[in-house]
Amino acid sequence: MTISDCLSGESASADAIEAATRASQAQAQDWTRRETLAALAALAGFMGLAVLCWAASGAVVPWDSKNHFYPMFRFLGQALQKGELPLWNPYHFAGHPAVADPQSLIFTPTFFILALLFPSASMQSFDLFVFLHLLMGGVGVLALCRRLGFAPVAAVLAGAIFMFGGVAASRLQHTGMIISYSFFPLAWWLLEILLERPRLRNGLLFGLLASLMALGRDQVAYLFCVTLVGRVAHAALASRRPLAFLYERWPALLAAGGAGGAILAAPVLLTLQFLASSNRPAIAFGVAAAGSLAPVNFATMLAPDIFGSLAKSYSYWGPGYDTMSEPDWTDRAIDYLFIGTAPMALGLWHGLAGGRIFARETRFVLYLLAGALIYTLGRWTPLFEPIYDLFPGVSLYRRPADAAFLLNAGFALSAGYLLHRYIVHGSPRPFEALPRPLAHALQACAFGVALALLLGGLAFSMETRHGREALDAIGLALAAGAGAALVLVFGERRNQRALAAALIVAATCGELLWRNAADPLNAEPAARYSILGEPSAAERAGVAALGREISERAARGEHPRVEILGLAGGWQNASMMLGLEDTLGYNPLRISEYERAIGPGDNAVDPDLRHYPATFRGYRCKLARLLGLDYLVLGRPLAAMPRHMPRPSATPIFVSDRLYIYRLGRTAAPRAYFASRVKEVDSDNAIAEDEIPDFDGAQEALVDAADHAHLDAALTAPGPAARSKVAIVSYEGERIALDVESDRDGLLVLHDLYYPGWEARIDGRPAPIVKANILFRGVPTPAGRHRVEFLFRPFSPTNLTSAAVGLVERDAD
């Protein structure tokens, strides 16, 4: 027997995979209908109690959930209510390709349906729907555990940890990642069915669920896709006949790949197209490394508040930007890993000291945990750099700590398995089953891991002068651990162990509710996001005053833009709900040229992050005028804004203690005009050199050098000014219609951002779009009277082909 055979108490056979399958089927039948319903009811009840924690405290899931995802959802709902698909977002950074943004929720079927049925769902309803996704994931864990033969009570433990353990609770704000995470157990469950019964139907179902998981296009979805591929490889190798194993299953696997590819192809292509022209086409290694999870953070698995992670005063002293000698862009939510005291006792005692984590039937979970641990630690191991350099896709993501979602899923299944083994076999007896040196080594390893984490956490806390608080957290953790150990030694007979297991599950669920539900890591008062729900009197009055001005100007055919800056809470993206064309916003992905030329920065809540490049020196510059930026919505008086912010002459139209709205009071460029002459410019160089050439904004336009050569000679040659008239007939997100009348050929310029996927029609016939005035769109238009339309068609064969060709060319480079 090998060491692993000793540890698992089982020996391998030539038909290990078939034997495991038969055992799984036999054990799965042990779940009666009553037990299945009881397990589902237990998880649903646990989730219900968690939801009540938020409701009772009047809190909502904060930060990105409300600053970013909820306005995206409401924007989606408003568009669907009008019978439109919101592929382009005009209210975000002066125009944003929502269809290519992984966080826009457009390709999330569950949220798409919610937006269709309840377009004005409240923040609380939005949170409830996110919790239902986690419940769906918990049900998937139950199904997977049932298939693996776990006892029902053990499966409930796994499901509870999956739903509210570690980062699943602390990072609830990252709605997109939570959605990807929630689909993973169901996808894995269907993959196990496919591997056992390789029918085309099973392949199609697995491909559908896996693609729903992958549609998030975030790092969590990426890592789970890699995990599912790894599960297929592991099953093939475990069969000892890998080629035959795969040959028997290739039609079903091909069907899964075909179904998934058909669903994912267009969204992935559009996202990659966006990334290529975005502010972050790839993440530099140093930036990604700064998002690694420091090893000392694993102390939170034993003592959750050892770094003040749960302090309502937000006095966190754990690893982060201010406490680490090297750059560390994690925070207390990212660094929090607590899954419950009893599961940790099971893991250290039964799992590591008792050797059960090496059992053959859960070997893949062990590999999953090992791989996720290496990835999560990032720069703290020598392996992440070659992974970053050699593994496709890794360089697209900025935070290896996101793999903690994968860790949490592995911890959940491991805890469920260990509790199941305890119920069936009792406590482990390593000195009876293993060679004594190995048994001693495993026990020393378990004790050493626990001691190292607690002492490491204490030492880190003492360096930041929080040793007393850390000692209190350690003392509480040791007391809870002793209680869990006492329960685990209870009972010689199986029915006694089943009772002890039920107590363990109840205690863990209660502890997760106490520690992880509606705590400062994942809850803030709804009032902090009042503009997104129930605006204050000042907010209502300010929005009304601004709305009246914009409505009056719209009646005159004008389309002014606003800049919302320095307002906390949901104001950063509230423009999507208020219908304001904002030049700023909150989104990690932005069009690169716009970012470089305008300088919006990482978010709009902190005025210090707003840059003013030489191309946008102030609110009277050329680009500000071309954008039609006429209003400032600020969180403090203009005179009290940071010193680096320009001080334009502005007229206040609304003032309160926390909201200040100004009219800039100058003549902005029209949203659309007709130029009879053009000048050649290298737009990229103009931005890089911080110099936009002078031109007559009434009769001239700048055209990018790449397009200038293809223009008619009459446009590029000197000539008299045209007598022209331009009127915007309709202005919708994906369709803009204009009537143009001119006595000579020229260029119709629309001061909306140039971006792939936009097409033009002149009197219904296709026309080319050129990059005009550095950032915007132009259409060569002949003399006479014409109807010109701009249409956003990202799914057109032309655009998708262009995106694919661009991807191939970038890979070749």
Asked if residue 625 has pLDDT above 60, the reply is yes
Output the CA torsion sign for 229, 235, 237, 242: negative
Asked if residue 508 has pLDDT above 60, the reply is yes
For 364-368, 408-412, 807-811, which range has the lowest pLDDT when averaged over its residues?
A: 807-811
Across-strand partners of 563?
632
**In this structure, are residues 369 and 409 in contact, taking their beta carbons and an 8 Å threshold?**
no
Across-strand partners of 89?
96
Instruction: Supply angle C-alpha 384, 389, 392, rounded to 5.
Output: 105
Q: Which of 509, 512, 520, 523 is nearest to 55 (CA)?
A: 523
**In this structure, are residues 76 and 86 in contact, taking their beta carbons and an 8 Å threshold?**
yes
Distance of CA 261 to the CA centre of its chain: 21
Kindly report, residue by residue over 36-93, the tens digit of the pLDDT. 999 999 999 999 999 999 999 999 999 999 999 999 999 999 999 999 999 999 999 9
State mean pLDDT over 153-164: 98
Distance CA(466)–CA(433), nearest Å, equals 44
State mean pLDDT over 736-762: 97
Phi/psi at 429 (5° precision)? -125, 75
What pLDDT, on a 0 to 100 scale, did the predictor assign at position 21? Answer: 41
- Alpha-helix residue ranges (DSSP H) falling in 317-435: 341-345, 363-377, 384-390, 404-425, 430-433
Distance CA(678)–CA(700), nearest Å, equals 5
Four-CA torsion 391, 394, 399, 400, nearest 10 degrees: -30
Output the CA torsion sign for 690, 693, 694, 700: negative
What letters, b where the CB count within 10 A reaches 16 and e where it falls short, cover 468-503? ebbbebbeebeebbeebbebbeebeeeeebbbbbeb
Output the CA torsion sign for 288, 291, 296, 301: negative
Three-state DSSP string of 33-72: HHHHHHHHHHHHHHHHHHHHHHHHHCEECCCHHHHHHHHH
Kindly report, residue by residue over 690-706, the tens digit of the pLDDT. 889 999 988 999 999 99
Tell me the C-alpha to C-alpha distance, in Å, between residue 535 and each of 56, 65, 492, 539, 604: 21, 18, 61, 6, 19
Distance CA(210)–CA(744), nearest Å, equals 56
The mean pLDDT value of the chain amounts to: 94
Distance CA(797)–CA(263), nearest Å, equals 16
Kindly report, residue by residue over 757-767, the tens digit of the pLDDT. 999 999 999 99
- Which residues does 277 contact at the CB level (< 8 Å), separation at least 6? 591, 592, 593, 755, 756
State mean pLDDT over 554-575: 95
Kindly report, residue by residue over 448-479, the tens digit of the pLDDT. 999 999 999 999 999 999 999 999 999 999 99
Work out the pLDDT band at 23, boundaries 50, 70, 90.
very low
Instruction: Tell which phi-psi region holds residue 740, choosing left (phi > 0), alpha (psi between -120 and 50) or beta.
Output: beta
**In this structure, are residues 218 and 355 in contact, taking their beta carbons and an 8 Å threshold?**
no
**In this structure, are residues 238 and 4 in contact, taking their beta carbons and an 8 Å threshold?**
no
Distance CA(582)–CA(597), nearest Å, equals 16
Q: Which two tokens stand for residue 651?
A: 């007229």
Tell me the C-alpha to C-alpha distance, in Å, between residue 802 and each of 188, 707, 797: 34, 17, 8
What pLDDT, on a 0 to 100 scale, did the predictor assign at position 813? Answer: 67
3-state percent breakdown (helix, strand, coil) of the chain, nearest 5 = 55, 10, 30
Percent of the chain with pLDDT over 90: 89
For 1-5, 205-209, 252-256, 666-670, which range has the lowest pLDDT when averaged over its residues?
A: 1-5
Q: Which two tokens stand for residue 608?
A: 């210090």
Kindly report, residue by residue over 106-138, the tens digit of the pLDDT. 999 999 999 999 999 999 999 999 999 999 999
Kindly report, residue by residue over 305-314, the tens digit of the pLDDT. 999 999 988 8
Paired sense of beta strands 660-663 and 651-655, if any: antiparallel
Q: Round to the nearest angstrom and report the end-to-end CA distance of the chain.
A: 51
Work out the pLDDT band at 320, boundaries 50, 70, 90.
very high
Distance CA(737)–CA(196), nearest Å, equals 56
Predicted structure pTM score: 0.95
Q: Which of 531, 545, 598, 553 is nearest to 731 (CA)?
A: 553
* Sheet with 677-681: strands ordered across: 672-675, 746-753, 776-781, 770-772, 700-704, 677-681
Give the residue carrying structure tokens 């707003």: 610
Distance CA(143)–CA(185), nearest Å, equals 8
Three-state DSSP string of 602-655: CCCCCHHHCCCCHHHCCCCCHHHHHHCEEEEEECCCHHHCCCCCCCCCCEEEEE
Work out the pLDDT band at 19, boundaries 50, 70, 90.
very low
**In this structure, are residues 597 and 774 in contact, taking their beta carbons and an 8 Å threshold?**
yes
Paired sense of beta strands 672-675 and 758-762, if any: unpaired
What pLDDT, on a 0 to 100 scale, did the predictor assign at position 181? Answer: 98
Other Cβ atoms within 10 Å of 129 Cβ, number: 18
Query: Residue 428 in 3-state DSSP?
Result: coil
State mean pLDDT over 476-493: 91
Phi/psi at 636 (5° precision)? -155, 165
Asked if residue 642 has pLDDT above 80, the reply is yes
Asked if residue 9 has pLDDT above 60, the reply is no
**In this structure, are residues 604 and 565 in contact, taking their beta carbons and an 8 Å threshold?**
yes
Distance CA(378)–CA(385), nearest Å, equals 8
Query: Residue 794 in 3-state DSSP?
Result: coil
